[in-house]
Every structure is written in C-alpha cells, then in structure tokens.
Structure 1
Amino acid sequence: MADTQLTVLDGPDKPSLQWALLYPERGQSVTFKLENEIVEAQIAEMVEMGNGLKFGLKGTFRSGGMRDQAFHGTYSVDSRSGLLTLDS
C-alpha cells in the first residue's frame, strides 16, 4: 500500500510553528492549506534542515477528514509549502 502524501500549498510562518510546538497544552495549532482542504494541525516535533527555513515536522491533524491522523514531512517557511505523509 502506497503512503498517502499531501501537498501543502500554504501554511504557517516559523514563529507560529514554534508556538504550536512549545505550547500544545494551550491548544496551539497551525493551519495548513492542502490541495483539497484546510486543516488544523498540532506539531509534536520540528527539526531544522539546513539554513533555518526548511523543517522536518511530525504532528497530528486536529480537523478535517484526517482528524486525529498522525503525519510527518518537510515544510519550508520560506515558500510556505511542503509535503506531508500520513503515518500508517
């Protein structure tokens, strides 16, 4: 079975990602605009890749058709785009 990949067309800036990572108990989340829907996500891990503009992310969707589904992927705060893969 192939992994489900989701293209991020627009998303949060770096401070918003950091805020969501640091304060999950406050219900902080970020919004990703995907090809077919807009979803809220909780960020569990954020790892810098290179120049401080691209990150490896892990998290869980908190809204939409993928609610409670975990994901991982890469995201650029420079272009505000990326590729997320649903965890199976």
Structure 2
Amino acid sequence: MFVFRGIPEHIRSDNGPEFTAKAIRKWLNRLGVKTLFIEPGSPWENGYIESFNGKLRDELLNREIFTTLTEAEILIEQWRRE
C-alpha cells in the first residue's frame, strides 16, 4: 500500500495484535509513521474503518470460501469496484 499511496504520517488502529506487535511498531517507527491507537472497547473512535470491515464481512467474506489467495484477491477487488 505504501508503494502506491506513499508513506502516511500516521496509522489509526485498534489494539489488535497485528498493529501492536513489536516488529510492526519498529518497522513503522523506522519509516517515520506514527501509530494512533483507539481506546480499547471504543470502536466508534475508528467508525469509518469499523463500518467498512462490517460491510466487507457481511457482503463478501461470510458468503465465500476462498480456495486460493489469488481467488480471494480477485473477488475482493470485484467487490471493491461494485
């Protein structure tokens, strides 16, 4: 994503392990990207993303069983363009 859009000033996220892992935090720090974490149990602080994730899950992920990564990429891209 950074290759296509450039390095962001910051990333806002919940406190999930994919964003709190030491390796990820070190990598972001090396790139100069600040991390902004929402308060635990406060998904409304990141409402846009929570809404997107819910729609993706309801409209696509819960309806499909992907057999390959390529299949997932194609179907997600088709969903994104609709």
TM-score bucket (shorter structure): under 0.3
Higher strand share: 1
Structure having greater relative contact order (Cα 8 Å, sep ≥ 6) = 1
TM-score (norm 1): 0.22
Indicate the structure (1 or 2) with the bigger Cα radius of gyration. Answer: 2
Higher helix share: 2
TM-score (norm 2): 0.23
